[in-house]
Amino acid sequence: MEDVIRFHDQFYILATSALARDQNRVLKHGKTFGVFDRSGDIEGAGLTEQGLFHEGTRFLSKLSVTLGGERPLLLSSSLRQDNAILTAHLSNRDIHRDGRIAVPQGSLHLSRSKLLWQGACYEELKVFNYGREPLRVGLAVQVQSDFADIFEVRGTARSRRGELLPAASDSSGIIFSYEGLDGVLRRTRIASSRPCRPLNSTLEFDLDLEPKGESVLSLCVVCELGGDSPKTWSYSGAAAVAGSELQALSRESVSIHSPNDRFNEWVQRSLADLDMMVAGNPEAWYPYAGVPWFNTVFGRDGIITALECLWANPCFAKGVLNYLASMQAREHSPERDAEPGKIVHETRRGEMAALGEVPFACYYGSVDATPLFVLLAGAYYERAQFRAHRPLEPCHQDLRR
């Protein structure tokens, strides 16, 4: 039975559901981002922004985990302080067999941890048996890929789409494929660390658990674009390199401390969010405009962010200026609002942008990005002169006064 039901234009949540399921969690790395519910699932009912997106396309539109045939109950959910890892703790409902309760509610603990790294989503699932008897329990992961363009997800209707190819599966996982109207083949490859039974877009596992015993498995969801298959890692390997990248980014920003713990938490959260918006981007030190709809270059947003952060981290300004200068318009193009010298407003790489269904592949329709670019260049020059006379490394600002 579904936990979310619809009656006319209203949505209702059954009493057996956790009340917090409607709050989303966001992960981002480079051109890839994921919007999940607090349990780590991707559910479509009324929450169309959920999914795993890469280069403007939703590569995973469904991800639902069941334990013993039932959706587990949410205990807690959190993002690590640096935004790199989403962790959810869940427990089983009553599991029935032959008309009786075989596994009482709360006997099993399911821990889910996931992260994004270089075009892939890595997830580790751990099931712990708190019972006094050994047991076998089924864990199932239902997946689906609709390959919707991000503008479709936002509500833009298309007269026609490409071809969704038949899914391929074996004991290692499932592959979904889509041949776009732009001639690009997009694939979602879901692989598991242990053999599974693929059945109707569902990966089924049998877990044998000793009393106080634990079973661990991992999943890797790879977004493949145009035949390119990114290198994959183990979950622990991906977690290590992702954490190292964010640590390197954080070292470039000013260190701020005050006697007020709430102020310190606000500052650290702000700096961590900024680091997330540049981590993995091919445009070095360019902060993207935001998840989910604006996980790409926006001229105005990047410039304003760089201006506001100039005192704390001039790397943002350098990255924004370098990239926007390389993207200045060189010709008149009315459909893109381009004129020689204008600063780009927005870039996209999805199917609809490639086909010209939306004009945003490289769009210059901004009245303020060009003068703001000049303003940032001047401000960055003054900041660079200040640093030349007063070296700031290591940079630490104490706000105790």
Residues 189, 130 contacting (CB under 8 angstroms): no
261 and 215 share one domain: no
Q: What residues contact residue 42 under an 8 Å CB cut-off, 6+ apart?
A: 34, 35, 36, 50, 51, 52, 60, 61, 62, 63, 64
83 lies in some domain: yes
The radius of gyration computed from the CA coordinates of the chain, to the nearest angstrom, equals 24
Q: How far apart are CA 131 and CA 210, in angstroms?
A: 9
249 lies in some domain: no
Q: How far apart are CA 85 and CA 79, in angstroms?
A: 6
23 lies in some domain: yes
pLDDT in tens, the chain (401 residues): 445 555 455 544 444 444 444 579 999 999 999 999 999 999 864 447 899 999 999 999 999 999 999 999 999 999 999 999 999 999 999 998 888 998 999 999 999 999 999 999 999 999 999 999 999 999 999 999 999 999 999 989 999 999 999 999 999 999 999 999 999 999 999 999 999 999 889 999 999 999 999 999 999 999 999 877 888 999 999 999 999 999 999 898 888 889 999 999 999 999 999 999 999 999 999 999 999 999 999 999 999 999 999 998 999 999 999 999 999 999 999 999 999 999 999 999 999 999 999 999 999 999 999 999 999 999 999 988 766 555 444 443 333 32
Q: Which residue type does 164 have? A: L
Pairing of strands 163-170, 197-198: unpaired
Instruction: For the beta carbon of residue 203, count every other beta carbon within 10 angstroms.
Output: 25
Q: How far apart are CA 362 and CA 289, in angstroms?
A: 15
202 and 316 share one domain: no
Q: How far apart are CA 115 and CA 113, in angstroms?
A: 7
Does a cis peptide bond (omega within 30 degrees of 0) precede residue 134? no
Here the tokens at position 108 are 């099993």
295 and 343 share one domain: yes
150 and 99 share one domain: yes
- pLDDT recorded at residue 19: 44
138 and 176 share one domain: yes
Three-state secondary structure string covering the chain:
CCCEEEECCEEEECCCCCHHHHCEEEEEECCEEEEEECCCCECCCCCCCCEEEECCEEEECEEEEEECCECCEEEEEEECCCCCCEEEEEECCCEEECCEEEECCCCEEEEEEEEEECCEEEEEEEEEECCCCCEEEEEEEEEECCCCEHHHHCCCCCCCCCEEEEEEEECCEEEEEEECCCCCEEEEEEEECCCCEECCCEEEEEEEECCCCEEEEEEEEEEEECCECCCCCCHHHHHHHHHHHHHHHHCCCCEEECCCHHHHHHHHHHHHHHHHHHCCCCCCCCCCCECCCECCCEHHHHHHHHHHCCCCCCHHHHHHHHHHHHCCCCCCEHHHCECCCCCCCEECCCHHHHHCCCCCCEECCCCCHHHHHHHHHHHHHHHHHHHHHCCCCCCEEECCC
224 and 261 share one domain: no
- pLDDT recorded at residue 22: 58
346 lies in some domain: yes
Does a cis peptide bond (omega within 30 degrees of 0) precede residue 230? no
Q: Given 203, 233, 263, which residue is the final one in a domain?
A: 233
Which CATH number covers residue 178?
Answer: 2.70.98.40
244 lies in some domain: no
Instruction: For the beta carbon of residue 390, count every other beta carbon within 10 angstroms.
Output: 7
133 and 276 share one domain: no
- pLDDT recorded at residue 6: 54
Residues 61, 146 contacting (CB under 8 angstroms): yes
359 and 266 share one domain: yes
- pLDDT recorded at residue 390: 52
Counting the structural domains of the chain, the total is 2
Instruction: For the beta carbon of residue 375, count every other beta carbon within 10 angstroms.
Output: 14
348 lies in some domain: yes
217 and 86 share one domain: yes
239 lies in some domain: no
160 and 269 share one domain: no
391 and 314 share one domain: yes
- pLDDT recorded at residue 200: 87
Distance of CA 250 to the CA centre of its chain: 20
326 and 189 share one domain: no
Q: Could you list the residue range(s) of the whole structural domain that residue 282 is in? A: 254-398
pTM over 0.85, yes/no: yes
317 lies in some domain: yes
Instruction: For the beta carbon of residue 87, count every other beta carbon within 10 angstroms.
Output: 17
Q: How far apart are CA 31 and CA 120, in angstroms?
A: 10
